[in-house]
Amino acid sequence: MTRPIGTLALATALAATTFAPAAAIAASNEDQARVTTSAAAASAANTDIKPPVAEKRPHTYTHHGITIEDPYDWLYDKSYPVIDDEDVLNHVKAENAYFEAKMGAQAGFTEALFTEMRARIKEDDSTVPQKDGDYIYWSEFEEGAQYRKHWRKPVAGGEAQLLLDENQLAEGQEYFSLGAASVSQNGRFIAYSTDTNGSERYTARIKDLASGEHLPDVIENLRGGLVWVAGDSALVYTPSTEEWRTLEAKLHVIGTPAESDVTLYKEEDQSFGVGTGLTAQEDWLIIATGDNETSEVRLVPAANPTAAPILVKPRKKGIEYSVDVRDGELWVWTNDDHINFRLAKAKLDTPGDWQTVIAGSDDFYLTGFELFKDFFVTEGRLNGLDQIQLRQYADPGKVTPITFPEASYTAGLSNNPEYDVATLRLSYQSMVTPSTVLDYDVKTGGFTTLKTQEIPSGYDASLYTTERVSVQARDGTMVPVSIVMRKDRADILKKAGIEGPGPLHLYAYGAYGYAIPPGFSTTRLSLVDRGFAYAIAHIRGGDDLGRRWYLQGKMFERTNTFNDFVDAGRGLIAKGYTAEGMVTASGGSAGGELMGAIINQDPKQYGAIVAHVPFVDVLNTMLNKDLPLTPGEWQEWGNPITSKASFAYLLSYSPYDQVEAKEYPPMLVTAGLNDPRVTYWEPAKWVARLRELKTDDNLLLMKTNMGAGHGGQSGRWNSLKETAEEFAFILWQMGMAPKTDAE
C-alpha cells in the first residue's frame, strides 16, 4: 500500500475524468433503499399518473452568428454547485415521483431480480492477501454488509489489525465512498479520504495505527491520491478548486495546520489537471500535469519534496508521456514518434534525451509498463486482446509472453506493491470465465490460481458460449463485437414463446480511449439466462484496437463512434443474433451521450434504452467554461467558443439539440443531483425535450439520486438494487416481465 497510485499514463489518466466512468462509487444506506422501494410499491396502483411537463421559458444564445433556442435552460440552477431553486427541485422530484409510480408496478419483479443477483454474490468475501513490506494486507465484506473492512497482519506472525471499517465510516450517511487510502512506509499511519455526498470532493484524515486514534490533521476538498514523503512526516495531495479542478500539488506536514500547507507545483493552464505518485523504488515523487492529449512531468526527491523539481521535458501539444525511475535511470512511455507509443530511457541529468528501448509498433499497442528489481513488464493489446510481456533489463527486446487459454479474454497486472518480487499477481477473466486471481512464477513460468470468483447460487460455464465477430461499419471499418449467450438459447426463447431471433443487449462506451474489456459479470446472467444475447461493441473512441482507434472517435471524427454502434447492431441483426426492435442498449456518462445519439439516428432498431448520467447537452456544456471540467475537455470534444467549426460539429450531433418530432423507444434515464462530471440538468433538459417532441406513447422515465453523484448509489446492495431496476425495466419493455394486476 505504499505506492498509492500507478506511475504509468498518469497525466493522460488525470484529464479523462469529466465524463468517464467514476470508479468505485456506490450510494445511500439500506434504509433509504427500502424507503424508495416502499414508495414505489405504494405508488404502483397509480398507473394513470401523467408524466411531468417542464415549462418552456424563452431563452436563446448566439455564437458565430448561429442562434440557438434553449427553452429548458432554466433547469440549470445558476447557483450550482448549490442547488436550491425551488422550481428546479420540484421538477426533479416530480420526475422521481413519476418514476416510482410507473416502476412501482414492477416492484415485485425488481425485488426478485435483486434477490437473484444477490444470490450470485459471496456475501462474506475477501480479497487475496498481498504482502507489502512487513505486513500482509487484504479487505473483506462481512455477510450482509454494504461496505468493506480493511485489514493487515505482520508477516512475522501475530494478530490481524483492522485498518478501516467503511461500514462504520458510512454510518448515518446517505452516501459513502472511500477515496484514497495509503499506509505510511513505516507502517504506523494510514491516510485516507472519504466522500459523503457523491460530489467527489474528498476529506482526508490520518489514523495512528498504533493507538487507533485519529490525528487532528484534516485536509478538506481534495481529489486524487495521498502520497507519503519526507520519511513519513508529510503527505502530498491535490486539492480541488471551486470549479472541481486539480491545479496544485500541495505538501502537508503532519501536525501543522492545513492552512500552512506548501504548494509544490501550481498549474496555470485551466485545462490541465495535476496528479502525484511515487516511482517504483519510492525514492522520487512524480508530479504530473496534462490534459487529454498533452503531458508534462516533474520529479522531486521523495525525501526532500520542497527541493527544486526536475522537469523531464516541456509540454508539447499532442505529446503524451509518463515516467518511472530505476537505479537513477529514467524510463519513459511516450507517443512522441509513434501513435501506439514507445518505451525509452534517459539519464536524470539529461531527462529529455530519450533513447528508444522498445520501438512503437503498428501491430502491438503499448499501453504501459511496470518496473521491478530484476525484470520489467510491458502491457498492451494485440488484435484487441490484452498482452502481458515479461522482459529483462539486459535484453529488453527479448519477450516472454504470459499466455492464456481462451480466444477472447481480459488480463493484466493486479496488485503488485513491492519492487523486489519473484512472482507477479495477475487478474484474468472472460465473458464465460469468472474473475480469477493468479500468481505467475517469473522463473518457471508457472501459474498458481489463488482465487476464482465464487458464485454461491451456482454457475456452470459449459452452459454458455462466447464469440468475437466483426461487423462492417458504413465507412468499411470492421468493428469487433464480443458476445456471450446460452448454448440452449433457442430452447429458452421457445419456452418463453419467442420465435426466431431473440433479444440482444448491446453495450459500449466509446470515448477517452477507454476500452471495454470482454470480462465476466454475474448480473448479466439475469438477461442471458432469459434468452438474451449480450454483446459489447468495441467501437471507435475506445482504444480497443490501438491508439488510432481512439483518435478516430474524438473531435471531428466523433460521429464514427455513434455510427459504429448503430452499424454493429444492424450487423448483428443481419447475422441472425437478433431482429429489428429487439435490440436493447445501455451506456453511461459519455456512453449515455452515445445512447442519445443512436436513438436520434436509428430509433426503430431498439426495444429499450437505458442512459445513465448521460452527457447529452454537449454543446451547452462545452460552451460553459465555468463548469467544473469543461476547459480540460476541449481537447476531447472541441472548443465551440473559439471555433465555429467545432460549434457546428457539436451542434450536429449533440443529443439534446438533435431531438426531433418522431417516435423514440422506451427509455430509462438516470442522474445524480451532486454529480460533478455530468451535471443533473443535462439528463433533465434532455428528458424534458423528449417529452415535448416525441410522437409515441412509449415509456420515458427519469430517476435522479438526490444524495449521490456520478456513480449512482453507494453500498454494494444499494448499487445492485439499481441494476435490478435497470434490468426489470428492460425485460418489462421487451414483454419478458411477469404480468402484474395492473396489466
User: In the 8-state DSSP scheme, what is residue 603?
Assistant: G
Matching residue, cell 430452447? 491
Q: From the candidates 526, 564, 675, 714, which is the catalytic residue?
A: 675
Matching residue, cell 471555433? 643
- Residue 589 annotated among the catalytic residues of the structure: yes
Rounded to whole angstroms, the Cα distance separating 275 from 225 reads: 8
User: Residue 698's closest CA among 606, 602, 613, 632?
Assistant: 606
Whether residue 432 contacts residue 461, with contact meaning beta carbons closer than 8 Å, is answered with yes
Could you tell me where the DSSP H helices lie in 458-530?
489-495, 525-528
HSE-up (13 A, CA, CB side) for residue 710 = 24
Rounded to whole angstroms, the Cα distance separating 658 from 669 reads: 17
- Residue 361 annotated among the catalytic residues of the structure: no
Q: Which residues are CB-neighbours of 487 under 8 A, at least 6 positions away?
A: 462, 463, 464, 465
Q: What residues pair up with 439 in beta bridges, in sequence order?
A: 425, 448
**Could you give phi then psi for residue 308, rounded to 5 degrees?**
-60, 130
Q: Which residues are CB-neighbours of 349 under 8 A, at least 6 positions away?
A: none
3-state secondary structure of 411: strand
Rounded to whole angstroms, the Cα distance separating 244 from 20 reads: 15
- Residue 59 annotated among the catalytic residues of the structure: no
- Cβ of 144: how many Cβ atoms within 10 Å? 10
User: Cell digits for 316?
Assistant: 508539447
User: Residue 235's closest CA among 301, 298, 184?
Assistant: 184
- Beta-strand pair 504-507/533-537: parallel
- Beta-strand pair 583-588/606-612: parallel
Q: Is the dihedral of CA 446, 451, 453, 455 positive or negative?
A: positive
Rounded to whole angstroms, the Cα distance separating 320 from 368 reads: 12
User: Cell digits for 439?
Assistant: 500468481
Gyration radius from the chain CA atoms: 25
Q: From the candidates 43, 586, 589, 719, which is the catalytic residue?
A: 589
User: Cell digits for 542?
Assistant: 475506445
Rounded to whole angstroms, the Cα distance separating 384 from 545 reads: 5
Q: Which residues are CB-neighbours of 344 under 8 A, at least 6 positions away?
A: 331, 332, 334, 354, 355, 356, 357
641 CB burial (10 A radius; 0-12, 13-18, 19+):
middle
Give catalytic residues, as residue numbers.
Answer: 589, 675, 710
